[in-house]
Structure 1
Amino acid sequence: MEISIVSPVFRAETIIDNLVERIVSSVTKLTDSYEIILVEDCGPDNSWKKIQENCKKYTQVQGIKLSRNYGQQHAIQAGLDASTGKYVITMDCDLQDQPEEIEKLLSKSKEGYEIVVASRKNRKDDIFKKLLSRVFYSTLGYLTETKQDRTVANFVCYQRKVVIAMAEVKDHNRYYPMLQQLVGFNYAKVEIEHAEREDGSSSYSFGKRLRLAMDTILTFSDKPLRLTVKFGILLSFLSICAALTMVVLYIFSDVKVEGWASLALLISFFSGIIISVLGMVGLYVGRTFESVKQRPTYIIHETIK
């Protein structure tokens, strides 16, 4: 198989027919050896029925229905695991990622880049979503100590070796921009036009974005724990400075230092020590916890070809 196209599907009943038609039209110009894998993430509409109809219409289309709503990243993983192509392209189903741009990514990958991501210019999103995106990527970049590009998303071309390498990473969180940096390989960007959403609104609510950010930070970074340790040390240092100040005032001035002040200093000092120790222990517990979890990232309810 030359090319696999993987698209996670959620609440896209009205889009699927157009999505498949445009992918078929674009990819058949490049090769006859391709497959389209649509992963239905247990949405509330009739997306699975539409996928079944397209599987009957096109021999290249196959559908995967997950047992429950696992989220977009896990749906992508299910599609990657099912793919067989030498080149695997992931893209959203809302047609803001345009199938006609697949050729650009594939052409760049054939130049020797194992990972080629689409950089969206002139993003067709509302102001709130753009602001939310800026905050998300800035925070994520700071706490994971990585460079994050808010112009890239899930429209990516992977060579087979990258798909295999990412599958070997057993972290439950599957945030692909971070996984791409983790596995390495030659990386390139291709500018594409970002289209208007075909229909409906994004299923990524503020709450979902917040959970994704928290999961990603806790999976790929221990910086929050290190910041906790530093905060504890700072509290202890400030307590010592305050204690020394009170001792000096007591000896060299007429200022009367009440007993409650000493008690407050002791509580503050030991609180800082406790926070530091807990943070340090948390570093090790967090790493151990991540390594021993053996939960599946997704469960398949049904497949169709």
Structure 2
Amino acid sequence: MGPVADPSDVTGDPYLSVVVPVYGAPESLRPLHARVRDVCATMGVTYELILVDDRCPKGSWLVVRQLAEEDSSVIGLRLSRNFGQHAAIQAGLSSVRGTWIVVMDCDLQDIPEEIPALLAKAGEGYDVVRGRRAVRADAWHRRAVSSAFYRLLGFLTGTEQIAEVANFGIYHRRVIDTVTSWDEELKYFPAIIQWVGFARTDLNVSHGQRHEGKSSYNYHSLINLAMSVIVGFSDRPLKLVMSAGLTVAFLSLVVSFAVVLLHFVGAVRVEGWTSIILSLWFIAGCLAFALGLTGLYVGRILVEAKGRPNFIVDQTMNGIKLGNRSGSEKTSSARTKSN
């Protein structure tokens, strides 16, 4: 990947696309728009701001509509229901036109003023520059849970997952085209970006305070997300269960031979129902766990086979209406406004 292209070499499409999944924090949208607009004006680049309303119950769509009516660079997408953050990101990525794509959150914890630094770093020959939060502005227990989540996720998916790196970053168009080019029921954005490769680096960025609302991820939703991502992304848990089963079987065989041998030489008497019952319970628990894990994978296969869309766009502002799994099949190439 060579240096960043001259923004003046345009073909009518914006140079920068900023994709923002929106859920909660409606009061942050106007400041976010103003700061993104000012940053792009300072850099001298054309841009589009794609705000994807994940059916927020707090009236975010009204603000998105107002911004789109005031500024044609604002693209509004409203999903038909709450599909989740990463489905909303996918919906936004499926409609980008820019050469470079920024993904960031709507609550201003991802700081728009860091975009020039990310773009400059990309100019050194990188296709992906992820923002690494050098100092996280979250509570200590939130950081601890997040760190444990990413460590477990990285181990079970066989990828490097860093708690300080989330969605915020800048990505070349060919990376995003690759990500949106195949059908997959769950696309967890950080893991997919890690998996696709390309020239990638991280850049330390500031992490802002949350100005409004709270994270939509609680402990329960984090656990559900981890299970969905692990099952949908990797078969490593199945291999670990198989390895554990083989290890237990081998150790049981060794212990059985040892006990029988000691019994025949009179060193030990094999008796007692307690040890037998405990062993059976242990084995039954292991079998139940293995069957449950297998069931999760079978369920994932069923979901993939159904071919249901990851997201459905209900309304658009200044944009095209999408309604497919990957965003590769667009109903029109024209930018239209609908209510």
State TM-score, norm by structure 2: 0.81
* 2:42 match: secondary structure: coil
1:116 aligns with 2:121: no
Distance 2:254 2:169 in 1: 54
Deviates more, 1:121-130 or 1:246-255: 246-255
Change (3 A) 1:247 1:285: same
Instruction: Measure how far apart 1:162 and its partner are.
Output: 0.5
> For residue 18 of structure 1, what is the amino acid of its counterpart?
P
Distance 2:127 2:229 in 1: 23
| Counterpart for residue 147 of structure 2 | 134
1:294 aligns with 2:307: yes
| Counterpart for residue 5 of structure 1 | 18
Native 8 Å contact 1:35 1:60 kept in 2: yes
Change (3 A) 1:278 1:55: closer
- The percentage of aligned residue pairs carrying the same residue is 39
2:262 to 245, 249, 262: 249
Distance 2:229 2:40 in 1: 33
2:247 to 234, 253, 256: 234
| Counterpart for residue 153 of structure 1 | 166
> For residue 121 of structure 1, what is the amino acid of its counterpart?
A
Instruction: Measure how far apart 1:211 and its partner are.
Output: 1.4
Instruction: Measure how far apart 1:288 and its partner are.
Output: 5.5
Distance 1:194 1:262 in 2: 55
1:92 aligns with 2:105: yes
Instruction: Measure how far apart 1:274 and its partner are.
Output: 6.7
Distance 1:264 1:244 in 2: 19
* 1:15 match: secondary structure: helix
Distance 1:70 1:298 in 2: 6
1:76 aligns with 2:92: no
Instruction: Measure how far apart 1:152 and its partner are.
Output: 1.1
Distance 2:77 2:223 in 1: 27
Native 8 Å contact 1:219 1:290 kept in 2: no
1:66 aligns with 2:82: no
Native 8 Å contact 1:231 1:272 kept in 2: no
Instruction: Measure how far apart 1:250 and its partner are.
Output: 2.8
Native 8 Å contact 2:102 2:169 kept in 1: yes
Instruction: Measure how far apart 1:146 and its partner are.
Output: 1.8
| Counterpart for residue 178 of structure 1 | 191
Distance 1:8 1:270 in 2: 45
Distance 2:226 2:184 in 1: 15
Change (3 A) 1:277 1:196: closer
Instruction: Measure how far apart 1:105 and its partner are.
Output: 1.1
Distance 1:191 1:230 in 2: 39
> For residue 252 of structure 2, what is the amino acid of its counterpart?
S
Change (3 A) 1:161 1:277: same
Distance 1:262 1:197 in 2: 55
Instruction: Measure how far apart 1:293 and its partner are.
Output: 4.7
Native 8 Å contact 1:229 1:276 kept in 2: no
State TM-score, norm by structure 1: 0.90
Instruction: Measure how far apart 1:289 and its partner are.
Output: 5.2
Distance 1:291 1:242 in 2: 43
| Counterpart for residue 103 of structure 1 | 116
Aligned length: 305
> For residue 186 of structure 1, what is the amino acid of its counterpart?
A
Change (3 A) 1:208 1:255: closer
Gap runs ≥5 in structure 2 = 1-12, 319-339
Native 8 Å contact 1:62 1:303 kept in 2: yes
